[in-house]
Amino acid sequence: MPEVVVSIGPHHPALKEPVNFKVVVDGEKIVRLELDLSYNHRGVEKAAEQRDFIRVLPLMERVCGICSHSHSTAFAKGIEELMQLEIPPRAQYIRTIIAELERMHSHLLWLGVAAHVIGFNTLFMWTWRDREAVQDTVEEMSGNRVHYGMNEVGGVRRDLTPAQVTAALERLPNLEERIKKYVDMVSSEETMLIRFRGVGKLSKEEALKYGTVGPTARASGVDYDTRKDDPYLAYADVPWNVVTDTNGDVYGRTRVRIGELWESLKIVRYCLENLPEGSIRVTAPRNAPTGEILSRYEAPRGELAHFIRTNGTDKVERVDIRTPTLANWTSVAICLVNQNLADLPVIVAAIDPCLSCTSRITLLDKQAKKTGVMSLDELIWRNRSRDQEQVRP
């Protein structure tokens, strides 16, 4: 058969996100993939430069609907480090609890989506029902299901009452049972095995070469987790393990995520049971000293990095957000080659893409009314010339 271009997205039932794939297929085999990412550039970074730190945090939460706590924690953590603040342990623990609950609901959501793209809607419905338990817990603690608003520079905004702690602990056994069920299902459910095994293979070398992060890297046997390698919050105190897998395919990524569900549950339980007493915040100064910092955070999808440059005022001079999805994109294009068209959605879904969070730059030619792409060299050249212009006058 001749090569055919199947254009998937930005409006497509498989993708709930604005992205366009031009998939070149030969019959049912994928020959090559062309990506168009930036449909939803929201200018978050620019907006962050115009607000003081207190007002940047809610903005950071809105970078992503799933990992909202990740973004605000990564930002707050960076600013606190610049200000050299010592955060009280109780605040660290509360942040950790929310972070791990967020990871659990993100992974449960992902499992549902992965099941849905292979047409296995029963699992999709089940995991999303169980996810409600996690969301209820978060809602009880913070008052919100999605944007928790727990962080502030210097600690957290809300304390956990003993009643909230007990209620959360009571929810855990049921959740534990469900997760056990999913652990069983992923290794025994035939319909998942035949669709996940050997699909979207990524070797350890490739995973390292293309700079993958998070569950995508760990499924290829790369033992890399910011929580372990560069501990922050309460992760150094809590006993837990990094989950890795050697399969390197969608099956491996599923196993890693389900294993992480298990670990997250352990962390949440430990933190709830050993919640230290004390205050939940310290008063932060208004301004941050001049400096640069790279704040790393293990979001549910992988390592999230916030680069922050401050200039001694109460605003950031520059904040740059590198989401895990951006780091994982290249690996998708590699995984897809020679795979079946039917496997495209599941391979794309396997990195748990979050595209609106990833959109950082859009090239727009106003006269020609066209958007385009730019090579790395051109980008560097343009940045240089811009800096020089800034220096010149």
Partner 1 sequence: MTDPVSGLIYILIFPGFLFLFLYALFLAFLDRKIAARMQQRVGPPFFQPFADFIKMLGKEVIDPAGVDRVIFDAAPLVALAAVMTAYLYIPIVGNSPLAFQGDLVVVLYLMSLPTIVLFLLGWLSRNIFSAIGGIRSVTQLFIYEVPFFLALLTPALMAGTWSISEIVIWQQKNMWFVFLQPIGFIIALIGLQAKLERTPFDIPEAETEIVAGPWTELTGRRLAIMDLTVDVSFVVGSALVAAVFLGGPLMPWAVTPGWLAVVVGFFLFLAKTLAVLLILSSIKVATGRIRIDQLNDIGWKYIAGASIVQVGIVLVMNYLWVYA
Q: Is the peptide bond before 10 cis (omega within 30 degrees of 0)?
A: yes
**Of 198, 227, 232, which is closest to residue 89 (Cα–Cα)?**
232
Q: Is 109 in the site for partner 1 (CB under 8 A)?
A: no
Q: Among residues 17, 260, 263, 343, which is the contact residue for partner 1, using CB under 8 A?
A: 343
Q: Concatenated DSSP letters for 93-137?
A: HHHHHHHHHHHHHHHHHHHHHHHHHTT-HHHHHHHHHHHHHHHHH
Residue 31: CB minimum distance to partner 1, A: 15
Residue 130: CB minimum distance to partner 1, A: 10
Whichever of 96 and 339 has its CB closer to partner 1, that residue is 339
State which of positions 247-306 bind partner 1 (CB under 8 A).
none
Q: Among residues 66, 85, 192, 321, which is the contact residue for partner 1, using CB under 8 A?
A: 192
Whichever of 293 and 342 has its CB closer to partner 1, that residue is 342
* Residues in contact with 96: Cβ distance below 8 Å, sequence separation at least 6, in sequence order: 233, 234, 235, 238, 267, 271
Q: Among residues 20, 144, 191, 362, which is the contact residue for partner 1, using CB under 8 A?
A: 191
- Please work out the total of residues on this chain that contact partner 1, with binding judged by CB under 8 A: 30
- Write the interaction track for partner 1 spanning residues 5-44; mark x where CB under 8 A is met and - where it is not: xxx----xxx-------------x----------------
Residue 4: CB minimum distance to partner 1, A: 7
Kindly indicate which of the ranges 151-159, 286-294, 308-316, 343-351 contains the residues binding partner 1, using the contact rule CB under 8 A: 343-351
156 close to 92: Cβ distance less than 8 angstroms: no
- Residue 119 CA to residue 192 CA, distance in Å, equals 10
Q: Concatenated DSSP letters for 211-235?
A: T--HHHHHHTT----HHHHS--TTT
CA 246 to chain centre: 22
Residue 192: CB minimum distance to partner 1, A: 7
Residue 333: CB minimum distance to partner 1, A: 18
Burial of 352 (0-12, 13-18, 19+ CB in 10 A): buried
288 close to 310: Cβ distance less than 8 angstroms: yes
- Write the interaction track for partner 1 spanning residues 110-129; mark x where CB under 8 A is met and - where it is not: -----xxxxxxxxx-xx--x
Residue 51: CB minimum distance to partner 1, A: 39
Residue 199: CB minimum distance to partner 1, A: 9
> Quick one: residue 366, left, alpha or beta (phi over 0 = left, psi -120 to 50 = alpha)?
alpha
Give residues in contact with partner 1 (CB under 8 A). Answer: 4-7, 12-14, 28, 115-123, 125-126, 129, 191-192, 194-195, 340-345
